[in-house]
Amino acid sequence: MHLSIFVHFSFFLAVLGVPELTVHPAKAPTAKTRNGTYVGLAVPQLSQDIFHGIPFAQAPRFELAQSLNSSWSGTHEAVEPGLTCSGYGSNNLLGLEVGEDCLNLNVVRPSGTKTNAKLPVMVWIYGGGFRQGSINDREFNTSYMVETSVQIGKPVIIVSINYRLSAFGFLFSKEVQSKGATNLGIRDQWKALEWINENIAGFGGDPKQVTVWGESAGAFSIGWLTVAYGGQNSNLFQKAIMVSGTSFGVGSGYPVFAQSTYNALTNDTGCNHAIDSLQCLRELPFETLNTTITNLPANLLGFQPILDGDILRNSPSFAYAQNPPLIAPVDIITGCNTDEGMSEALGAQTPFNTSAEVEYFLTAGLGVDSTVANEILTLYPEDAQYPPYSQPMTLDWPALTAALGIQSGTQTRRVYGIINDFAMMSGRRLTAASWTPLTGKKAYSFRWDVDPTRLPLVYTPGLGVGFAEHGAELSFEFRLPYVSGSAYPPIPDVPAMRNVSYAMQAHFVAFAATGDPNAHHLNWIPKWPAYAGSTQNFVYNATLDDTLNLHVEKDDFRSEQISWFNARWTYLN
């Protein structure tokens, strides 16, 4: 099955030039790593120490990241943001400095953290369709999560890591495979986790209490990290939080398709005439390569993780089916948003008016055969309820979107519904339900059910027309007190909206610190039961008219449809 997930992801953003406060550090914080001592920034207004742009490896183009191999005495400064990895989309629009030697990380800790504090560590892995994303995107400001952690008495250190993107991170071909340089983006994440394991104690963190946490491509990355190297994660992380992504839903890449992308790249640069075409690509001027990648036809732009027989040796469905399963034994939170499938990023904003058009979309776009497409159409009949699930189907959807210049048809919401379950809801439910029986470790599941926007529709290029769509929870997840400049909708200025954001942060931090998301002592948040034994989701629901409606639900909606997908991942992935 060939889901063109993320391929449609392109942002056109208004960049806000918000000046940073100038900080005059009273006493600059330091941290000792294997290579030498770093001096960071004291940020008194947040009571935090921030270390920016610490390199964790070198990134020679189309080669494995190399450990840093020099050390120093005295100090190095970690006060300026490091390079953002070269990517395609918002990376080039946020005013960030972009370049290839981009393997650096940011560390945020409560000020006054002692070297022997052994604080739990959270590691943020951004999304962006494996083609964009940066730790310096203000949307991913980890300071407010650290602030929450201190306020609830469970202080954590948060590290956010860059990894290589697009062709730089996910070029794949027989030539690349023969050099062992596959899935560099995922290997960069692994390398960062090794650096954290070796060095985080110098910041006051505990390398034996590491929680990887990611959204979208970041969550799908974690889905891969849990089955990488046959599930042997070398104890690099003990817990995982996967938001809008799991091991299932985007597939394990297409080697044949990837080879044609490689062939186009080498042909378009003349490297196809070199004896060693990969070496030729390595030596090209950056501008030449960047232009060639930019000009690749859209159907060849889908860089993503691909099974390589090495770090990604098993498809997730195979890993889950083995006895014992080939899965890293870690506790997890997995969750996604009610209306994920409305996202342009997931390719579901379509103009169809007939079942025949939807069938064509499923066969041509997703690559299923017509028997399977018709089974899906039967499971998702025309007259059912579809995203946005908070809105009645009687709305004239084509007219509502036409008012924004977006084409929809009478079948548009039906397609949202199919993609919703295929890309997100099914993988979430399968992961939550399988996890404890397979690994013996805890699993918690949530559904994010907050519409930060309402009718009339609001269109955000790259995201879609609003509601609880893909990415709609991000500003809440980071509890941002400002509009970040990224495309994601900000938190509406309503108390219930601030509470729902705080509840999610309290859960994530408590989970990272103890393995139990309930260990936050906030009595206004209902208890979140483990999935095993309850089969329940925590539901984050708050409304613009200031109703806070946090509750749990039985995770049995659309049971027939979701079970259908979950019985077919060996075919679908």
Ligand X SMILES: *[C@@H]1O[C@H](CO)[C@@H](O)[C@H](O)[C@H]1NC(C)=O
Residue numbers annotated as active site: 216, 340
Nearest-approach distance from CB 309 to ligand X, in angstroms: 25
Nearest-approach distance from CB 255 to ligand X, in angstroms: 18
Computed from CA positions of residues 417, 418, 423, 429, in that sequence, does the dihedral angle turn out positive or negative?
Answer: positive
Nearest-approach distance from CB 66 to ligand X, in angstroms: 4
CA distances from 418 to 336, 389, 412, 455, 571 (A): 15, 13, 10, 23, 17
| 3-state DSSP percent of the chain in helix, strand and coil, to 5 | 35, 15, 50
Question: Residue type for 260, please?
Answer: S
Closest by CA to 84, choosing from 32, 31, 128, 147, is: 128
Closest by CA to 352, choosing from 405, 406, 407, is: 407
CB 411 within 8 A of CB 418: no
Which of 134/246 has CB closer to ligand X? 134
Which of 532/544 has CB closer to ligand X? 544
Which of 174/570 has CB closer to ligand X? 174
DSSP category for residue 360: H
Nearest-approach distance from CB 95 to ligand X, in angstroms: 11
Strand partners, 106: 160
Beta strand 239-243 with 98-99: parallel, antiparallel or unpaired?
unpaired
Nearest-approach distance from CB 292 to ligand X, in angstroms: 10
Which of 178/385 has CB closer to ligand X? 385
Which of 185/515 has CB closer to ligand X? 185
Question: Residue type for 319, please?
Answer: A
Closest by CA to 422, choosing from 495, 483, 343, is: 343
Nearest-approach distance from CB 96 to ligand X, in angstroms: 10
User: What gap in Å lies between CA 74 and CA 72, rounded to an integer?
Assistant: 6
Chain contacts with ligand X (rule: CB under 6 A): 20-21, 34-35, 43, 50, 58, 66-71, 86, 88, 92, 98, 106, 108, 141-143, 195, 198-199, 264, 267-268, 290, 294, 351-353, 357, 390, 398, 407, 409, 449-451, 468, 499, 524, 541, 543, 547-549
DSSP category for residue 140: G
Which of 79/321 has CB closer to ligand X? 79
SS3 191: helix
The alpha helices in 300-396, defined as continuous H runs, are: 316-321, 355-360, 366, 370-379
SS3 424: helix
SS3 213: strand
Nearest-approach distance from CB 290 to ligand X, in angstroms: 4
Residue 193 CB coordination number (10 Å): 24
Which of 331/469 has CB closer to ligand X? 469
User: What gap in Å lies between CA 19 and CA 491, rounded to an integer?
Assistant: 20
Nearest-approach distance from CB 143 to ligand X, in angstroms: 4
CB 317 within 8 A of CB 569: yes
- The full length of the chain comes to 573
SS3 553: strand
Which of 69/378 has CB closer to ligand X? 69
Which of 132/426 has CB closer to ligand X? 132
Closest by CA to 425, choosing from 468, 393, 392, is: 468
Computed from CA positions of residues 46, 49, 50, 56, in that sequence, does the dihedral angle turn out positive or negative?
Answer: negative
Nearest-approach distance from CB 253 to ligand X, in angstroms: 21
DSSP category for residue 249: S
User: What gap in Å lies between CA 510 and CA 207, rounded to an integer?
Assistant: 17
Which of 463/572 has CB closer to ligand X? 463
CA distances from 59 to 55, 68, 266, 316, 385 (A): 10, 10, 21, 28, 48
Closest by CA to 237, choosing from 221, 251, 217, is: 221
Per the structure block, which two tokens stand in for 252? 């394990």
Nearest-approach distance from CB 124 to ligand X, in angstroms: 10
